[in-house]
């Protein structure tokens, strides 16, 4: 069932609510630059096991409103809080992929883990997405600037080029076209502004504020968020579990689909 939730006076987010309403809720935060439909192959399976899957399109993406402003981790986290409160979620599992993982971490820190029982981070763009003088891992800021420039110049080509480094294992052309289409559903400006957040935000101070069981799923061959980011998160989040996906790139949710779903069920059970 799809519907809208108002998170600001002029901003509504599209939400998909799948599975039994009395099931354990799992709230999914998608990555840049796609939308909640990227988790199709989890939504297909988890409700069969009794889980309630809630997918949210972040502002500027998918079917959600596309405001000119508000593309910061703080605002994204506040939007998630508004969804949690509107649905009156309690004891829910928060999961986030790539930029969605970064937003999940900011939610945990900014909203003190409000109603979250467990946290799962998939190829998260954290603790820092871009290289810094004191953090030598991640993308170069110049490469992110190029993504932003290409978003405003030729967004379909940018998405296609970005997709070429997304999956480590071969995927069909049909699948690549489908995934590419998810990116095209987004606002061009929202895509660019979110890339600025990816480039500039720093979550290192947030990690120590996470105090729920946390699993870090990460592709060893990830070319977008290198595996060193997972190791840094693992070191910074007390008691976290690091689950490497040896044959996956950034798109571990599909590269090793069966292992991904199996490990997720094992963690959330």
Per domain, the residue ranges of the chain are 2-268
Instruction: Check residue 168 and give its pLDDT.
Output: 66
Digit-coded pLDDT (tens) for 113-138 = 999 999 999 999 999 999 999 999 99
Torsion 132-101-30-63 (CA) sign: negative
Taking residue 220's Cβ as centre, other Cβ atoms within 10 Å add up to 15
Q: Can 78 be counted among the known catalytic residues?
A: no
Q: Can 222 be counted among the known catalytic residues?
A: yes
| Rounded distance between C-alpha atoms, residue 40 and residue 143, angstroms | 29
Digit-coded pLDDT (tens) for 177-230 = 999 999 999 999 999 999 999 999 999 999 999 999 999 999 999 999 999 999
Class of residue 221 by CB neighbours under 10 A (exposed 0-12, middle 13-18, buried 19+): middle
Q: Pick the catalytic residue from 30, 57, 65, 98.
A: 98
Q: Pick the catalytic residue from 30, 36, 218, 250.
A: 250
- 30's torsion region: left (phi>0), alpha (psi -120 to 50) or beta? beta
Q: Give the 3-state DSSP-derived string for the chain, with helices as H, strands as E and coil as C.
A: CEEEEEEECCEEEEEEEECCCCCEEEEEECCCCCCHHHHHHHHCCHHHHCEEEEEECCCCCCCCCCCCCCCCHHHHHHHHHHHHHHCCCCCEEEEEECHHHHHHHHHHHHCCCCCEEEEEEECCCCCCCECECCECCCECHHHHHHHHHHHHHHHHHHHHHHHHCCCCCCCCHHHHHHHHHHHHCCCHHHHHHHHHHHHHCCCCCCHHHCCCCEEEEEECCCCCCCHHHHHHHHHHCCCCEEEEECCCCCCHHHHCHHHHHHHHHHHHC
Q: Can 234 be counted among the known catalytic residues?
A: no
- What CATH superfamily classification does 2-268 receive? Alpha/Beta hydrolase fold, catalytic domain (3.40.50.1820)
The low-confidence residues of the chain, meaning pLDDT below 70, are 168, 170
Bridge partners (DSSP) of residue 18 are 53
Q: Pick the catalytic residue from 64, 79, 222, 248.
A: 222
| Rounded distance between C-alpha atoms, residue 229 and residue 138, angstroms | 7
Instruction: Check residue 1 and give its pLDDT.
Output: 77
């Amino acid at each position: 069932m799809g519907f809208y939730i108002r998170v600001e006076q002029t901003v509504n987010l599209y939400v998909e609510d799948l599975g039994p309403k009395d099931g354990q809720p799992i709230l999914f935060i998608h990555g840049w630059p796609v939308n909640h439909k990227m988790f199709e192959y989890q939504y297909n399976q988890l409700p069969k096991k009794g889980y309630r899957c809630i997918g949210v399109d972040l502002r500027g993406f998918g079917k959600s409103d596309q405001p000119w402003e508000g593309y910061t981790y703080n605002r994204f986290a506040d939007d998630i809080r508004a969804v949690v409160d509107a649905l009156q979620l309690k004891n829910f599992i928060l999961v986030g992929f790539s930029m969605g993982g970064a937003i999940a971490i900011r939610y945990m820190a900014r909203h003190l883990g409000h109603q979250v029982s467990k946290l799962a981070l998939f190829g998260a763009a954290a603790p820092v997405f871009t290289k810094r003088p004191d953090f030598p891992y991640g993308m170069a800021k110049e490469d992110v600037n190029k993504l932003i420039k290409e978003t405003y110049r030729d967004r379909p080509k940018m998405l296609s080029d970005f997709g070429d480094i997304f999956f480590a294992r071969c995927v069909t052309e049909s699948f690549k076209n489908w995934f590419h289409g998810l990116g095209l559903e987004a606002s061009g400006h929202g895509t660019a502004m979110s890339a600025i957040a990816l480039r500039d935000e720093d979550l290192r101070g947030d990690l120590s504020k996470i105090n729920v069981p946390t699993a870090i799923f990460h592709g060893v061959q990830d070319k977008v968020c290198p595996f060193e980011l997972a190791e840094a998160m693992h070191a910074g989040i007390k008691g976290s579990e690091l689950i490497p996906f040896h044959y996956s790139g950034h798109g571990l949710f599909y590269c090793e689909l069966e292992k991904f779903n199996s490990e997720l069920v094992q963690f959330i059970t």
